[in-house]
Amino acid sequence: MSKGFGESDFAQILSDKATTESVQRLLDENRLQAERATSRKATGEYGVCEDCGQKISAERLKFLPEATRCVACQTRQERQ
């Protein structure tokens, strides 16, 4: 008798699928965010927080070139 397609295998496939989808969503979000940063470069708003209008620190931009918000506003956004 061969080994059946167990519940744990099915759960594994489901979780693999979920991982793939969340990775894909992250990639999409990153791409959108990178496009936003690029369009802000074109309008001369790059490096300025889109929420409070303050300059984003050079340190942050070096670490996260696609950032369009300062640390405080990004943190607030992520909490919502």
Residue 45 sits in the site that holds Zn ion (CB under 5 A):
no
Alpha-helical (H) ranges within the chain are 7-42, 58-63, 71-79
Q: How many residues touch Zn ion (CB under 5 A)?
A: 5
Residue 73 sits in the site that holds Zn ion (CB under 5 A):
yes
**Residue pair 75/56 in contact by the 8 Å Cβ criterion:** no
Pick the binder of Zn ion from 13, 17, 52, 76 (CB under 5 A).
Answer: 52
Residue 67 sits in the site that holds Zn ion (CB under 5 A):
no
Q: What are phi and psi of 56, to 5 degrees?
A: -80, 135
Residue 51 sits in the site that holds Zn ion (CB under 5 A):
yes
Q: How far is CA 79 from the centre of its chain?
A: 14
Q: Which residues bind Zn ion (CB under 5 A)?
A: 49, 51-52, 70, 73
